[in-house]
Amino acid sequence: MSRESLEERLRAIGAERYHDKHPFHDKLHGGECSPDQVRAWVINRWAYQAAIPMKDAAFLSRCTDPDMRRAWRSRIEDHDGGINEGGGLRRWLKLAEAVGLDPDYVASGRGVLPATQFAVDAYIRYVRDMPLLQAVASSLTELFAPSIHERRIEGLLEHYDFANTESLSYFKTRLSQAPKDVAYGLEWVLSHADTPEKEDMACEALTFKTNVLWAQLDALWGAYVEPARIPPGAWRPGEGMA
């Protein structure tokens, strides 16, 4: 039992379960998604993006240490941004526009798959209600995010006409934001998971979070790839176009 062995266990969870292993990402990054499949991804991942500042606020709402709150607050600033300039959420809507969608439709959340909404809502509740160690550990999927973002930028630029510096600015920006956040979160988890029971709790939290991400892609696949059975009320090709 040591910091090193816990970090190895956490990284092994990512290696086995992070959503870069999901076939939807191979399809997306390999240029094999139809325009409507890309749109469905943009619409549904909005639900996740929109939930991030709410889950980080849920974290602040139960964090009694002002120093930790001061460090954590930048996550909300990264995604919501300032009143005029916005942040990650507005960058995501640039991508929505680039793929031909009406950004107001995307921002409304209408058309999001219920399974996706359930998954992201479960994440907010987890961060609000579970032990603090697990609330922090659930953020550690950021350990694995920069490499998927790099592959995504490269793959989208190679295969899709909509891809350019502006439309992909969300991912580019995350390349520099995520490492700062994960350095803080990883250090905190490694310092505070100081018993075998707590190490297990941290690993369970990270596993839970990989499930939140994976479930969204399974829902996307089922609705828009195979069997391509769109559930009642979810986005249908042609809706919400600019």
**Interface residue list for a second copy (CB under 8 A):** 50, 53-55, 57-64, 66-67, 69-71, 73, 76-77, 80-83, 86, 89, 107, 109, 124, 128
- What letter does residue 81 receive in the DSSP assignment? -
Peptide linkage before 227 cis (omega within 30 of 0)? yes
Determine the Cα–Cα distance for residues 227 and 229; give it in Å rounded to an integer: 5
Give the residue with the Cβ less far from a second copy, 58 or 186.
58
Minimum distance, C-beta of residue 123 to a second copy, in the bound complex (Å): 12
Give the residue with the Cβ less far from a second copy, 56 or 199.
56
Minimum distance, C-beta of residue 183 to a second copy, in the bound complex (Å): 14
Please say whether the beta carbons of 13 and 207 come within 8 A. Answer: yes
Give the residue with the Cβ less far from a second copy, 81 or 155.
81
What is the sign, positive or negative, of the torsion defined by CA atoms of 113, 213, 107, 100? negative
Minimum distance, C-beta of residue 89 to a second copy, in the bound complex (Å): 5
Minimum distance, C-beta of residue 227 to a second copy, in the bound complex (Å): 31
Strand partners, 82: 86
Determine the Cα–Cα distance for residues 82 and 87; give it in Å rounded to an integer: 7
Give the residue with the Cβ less far from a second copy, 107 or 115.
107
3-state class (DSSP) for residue 86:
strand
